[in-house]
Amino acid sequence: MNLTAESHRIPLSDGNSIPLLGLGTYADPQKTPKGSCQEAVKIAIDAGYRHIDGAFVYFNEHEVGQAIREKIAEGKIKREDIFYCGKLWNTCHPPELVRPTLEKTLKILQLDYVDLYIIELPMAFKPGDALYPKDENGKFIYHETDLCATWEALEACKDAGLAKSIGVSNFNRRQLEMIMNKPGLKYKPVSNQVECHPYFTQPKLLEFCRQHDIVIVGYSPLGTSRDESWVNVSSPPLLKDPVLNAIGKKYNKTAAQIALRFNVQRGVVVIPKSFNPQRIRENFQIFDFSLTEKEMKEIEALNKNVRYVELLM
Ligand code: NAP
């Protein structure tokens, strides 16, 4: 694949396209100063990012929207230059909740549409104000819903122009097949956002998605923030890996840049999160070199098949 900073987008099955590199925006709201997400998005846009990955449950969508609107007002970008991905949370799977939930997100963002709207997880929680509803024993309260009906509600959002493209996240092959084999399917998922990096390369899912024209968007492409409250830290830190660091030395790049380049070079979109100006810029500098076939194979061989994000719920 020939990638340049100017043309680093890949086509989606519905005729749209997605930038191969996006800015992840999840940061623990308790530990992150207000305004840092907004500042990060503005720095990212100045650095050349056009893809921002967000979600209602990150509690900072208002900052993302504000940053995008400020950059539009400055004349730096137009709305159509930006690719924003929003997510449908687990408590909002019942079909009648889907459009109002997306409309709420658009109100928070103060934008007219999202470029991609995805079902964040394939399982549902009890609808209501509690985003993580639990019973008196501290167990999550799940909710029986039909993923195909949820999908139809997403299709209606695309038809209404509220989402340019629709997709899923954390879906396995069986769940993807369930949607794709749904009688009367109008649009298939254009993408599946899943954990993907050199220690969790997803070879089987990647092959399946390639065959069905579904783009894989790799989350935690740098191996997460290693926050023990939700990350399995028994898997070693990705960025300390000797192979990634040795290859980085050859190209005068960091292990982070090698990990990101590895994925984009095999057609996997990456959405590294950084709120640090220097690292935001660093993560974008991956389009001016390429890895050899041998190096790609060496990195593929690092796969440990262990997730950092176990999603135990
Ligand atoms: P990540 O992008 O793999 O790693 C983020 C961590 O790496 C942060 O601590 C960041 O700190 C640090 N970092 C960033 N650039 C670096 C560099 N060049 N060198 C060294 N450290 C660097 O992890 P993630 O946040 O888990 O995943 C990325 C995004 O994917 C999320 O923000 C979110 O948008 C999405 N996501 C989606 C799901 C889902 O279920 N769909 C799940 C998880 C994540 P600084 O900010 O200080 O730079």
Q: Is the CB of 279 under 6 A from ligand 1?
A: yes
Higher-pLDDT residue of 304 and 313 is 304
pTM beyond 0.85 = yes
Split at pLDDT 50, 70, 90, the class of 4 is very low
User: What atom in ligand 1 is closest to the CA of residue 221?
Assistant: 3
User: Distance, CA 25 to ligand 1 centroid (Å)?
Assistant: 8
Split at pLDDT 50, 70, 90, the class of 313 is confident
Q: Residues 124-153: pLDDT tens digits?
A: 999 999 999 999 999 999 999 999 999 999
Q: Average of pLDDT values for 160-172?
A: 98
User: Distance, CA 220 to ligand 1 centroid (Å)?
Assistant: 5
Phi and psi, residue 115, nearest 5°: -80, -30
CA distances to 130, 152, 156, 176, 187 from 183, rounded to whole Å, are 33, 11, 16, 14, 11
- For the chain, give the mean pLDDT: 96
- Residue numbers in the known binding site for substrate are 143
* Kind and range of the H or E run holding 88: strand 83-88
Q: Is the CB of 120 under 6 A from ligand 1?
A: yes
Burial bucket for residue 13 (CB in 10 Å: 0-12, 13-18, 19+) = middle
Q: How many residues comprise the chain? A: 313
Q: Is the CB of 272 under 6 A from ligand 1?
A: yes
Q: Residues 43-67: pLDDT tens digits?
A: 999 999 999 999 999 999 999 999 9
> 3 pLDDT exceeds 80?
no
Chain centroid offset of residue 213 CA:
17
Cβ-proximal residues to 166 (8 Å cutoff; 6+ apart), any chain: 116, 117, 118, 151, 154, 155, 157, 158, 187, 189, 190
Q: Residues 190-221: pLDDT tens digits?
A: 999 999 999 999 999 999 999 999 999 999 99
Residue 58 falls in the annotated catalytic set: yes
Tell me which of 49, 58, 84, 219 is the catalytic residue: 58
Q: Residues 231-259: pLDDT tens digits?
A: 999 999 999 999 999 999 999 999 999 99
Domains of the chain: 14-301 (3.20.20.100)
